[in-house]
């Protein structure tokens, strides 16, 4: 699995190993995987570490060749590696879109291209792509991130259709707000005085509300294991704070209602309307 060094990826790698699976976890730097190693030792499991950068063709080829040489085959690929990307559509530089796409979309594609030939030959295997609640919910001043996750959702849906005849399963995991170090990194905003400042305030309030109830990444790990092993698979698995609620409500919200929500001028009115529309409470407390 990719992106095994922190957050969801680390939880998934350790949980799958604890269930008896042989796990190869990719990290960009072996020297920075001390916490992963320590947590694996504490749990009494082994996660085989492989240095791999999903943003680089040569690194992906070398890393996954190392896995194939050691294990002989890959039965399950979990594409988890990802980066964030705050910004509204107009203000986000094209380079930012490209950088985020290169990891969140192209990184997953690079990895699955390596393992799919063997899966097709064996007529079995599972591809798990970790997207996000924003993979089907375009909101809150994160245009590069949203675009990359929507793209991965679309590619995953097409892939599921294409490989079904080969006995290969595709699962899309759609986390909402999950406890992770990403909160400390999610600070990119707009310039003071920008017309788009309200959208950033509302995005940060959404995550502030979610942070209070953020789901343990182990919950996501359990869902990944279920998706791999269940006899009754489905394509999409919403999970974590806000994920199931928002994605259940989104199809009932008309395009006109969605646009009207964005046009609300007052922040407090927006928080109330958002909470009512999507079934998650983002109203500030104590203010």
Q: Write out the catalytic residue numbers.
A: 145
- List the beta bridge partners of residue 175: 239
User: Which residues, including other chains, have CB under 8 Å from residue 93's CB and lie 6 or more apart?
Assistant: none
Rounded to whole angstroms, the Cα distance separating 224 from 172 reads: 9
Phi, psi of 72 (to 5 degrees): 90, -25
Q: How many CB atoms lie within 10 A of CB 222?
A: 16
* 3-state SS, residue 205: helix
Phi, psi of 78 (to 5 degrees): -110, 110
Q: Closest Cα to residue 107, out of 62, 64, 60, 63?
A: 60
Q: In sequence order, what E strands does 204-268 have?
A: 236-239
- List the beta bridge partners of residue 51: 27
User: In this structure, what DSSP letter does residue 142 have?
Assistant: B
Looking up tokens 């080829």, which residue turns up? Answer: 61
Residues in the chain: 287
User: In this structure, what DSSP letter does residue 252 have?
Assistant: G
Rounded to whole angstroms, the Cα distance separating 185 from 177 reads: 14
- Which tokens go with 172? 């899309």
User: In this structure, what DSSP letter does residue 251 have?
Assistant: G
Phi, psi of 51 (to 5 degrees): -80, 125
- Judge whether 52 and 3 are in contact, CB under 8 Å: no
- Which tokens go with 99? 């950088």
């Amino acid at each position: 699995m990719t992106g095994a060094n922190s957050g969801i990826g680390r939880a998934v790698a350790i949980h799958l190993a604890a269930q008896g699976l042989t796990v190869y976890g990719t990290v960009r730097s072996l020297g920075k995987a001390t916490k992963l190693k320590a947590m694996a030792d504490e749990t009494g499991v082994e996660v085989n570490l492989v240095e791999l950068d999903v943003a680089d063709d040569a690194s992906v080829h070398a890393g996954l060749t190392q896995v194939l040489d050691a294990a002989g085959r890959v039965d399950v690929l979990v594409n988890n590696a990802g980066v964030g990307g705050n910004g509204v559509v107009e203000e986000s530089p094209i380079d930012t879109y490209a950088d985020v796409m290169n990891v969140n979309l192209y990184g997953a594609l690079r990895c699955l291209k390596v393992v799919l030939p063997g899966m097709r030959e064996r007529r079995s295997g599972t591809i798990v792509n970790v997207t996000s609640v924003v993979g089907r919910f375009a909101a809150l001043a994160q245009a590069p991130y949203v675009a990359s996750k929507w793209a991965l959702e679309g590619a995953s849906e097409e892939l599921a259709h294409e490989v079904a005849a080969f006995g290969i399963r595709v699962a899309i995991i759609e986390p909402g707000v999950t406890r992770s170090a990403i909160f400390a990194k999610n600070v990119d905003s707009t310039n003071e005085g920008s017309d788009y400042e309200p959208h950033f305030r509302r995005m940060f309030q959404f995550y502030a509300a979610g942070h209070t109830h953020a789901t343990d990444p182990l919950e996501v790990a359990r869902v990944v294991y279920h998706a791999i092993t269940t006899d009754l698979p489905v394509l999409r698995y919403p999970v974590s704070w806000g994920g199931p609620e928002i994605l259940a409500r989104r199809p009932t919200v008309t395009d006109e209602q969605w646009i009207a929500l964005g046009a609300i001028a007052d922040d407090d009115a927006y928080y109330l309307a958002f909470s009512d529309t999507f079934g998650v409470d983002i109203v500030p407390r104590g203010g």
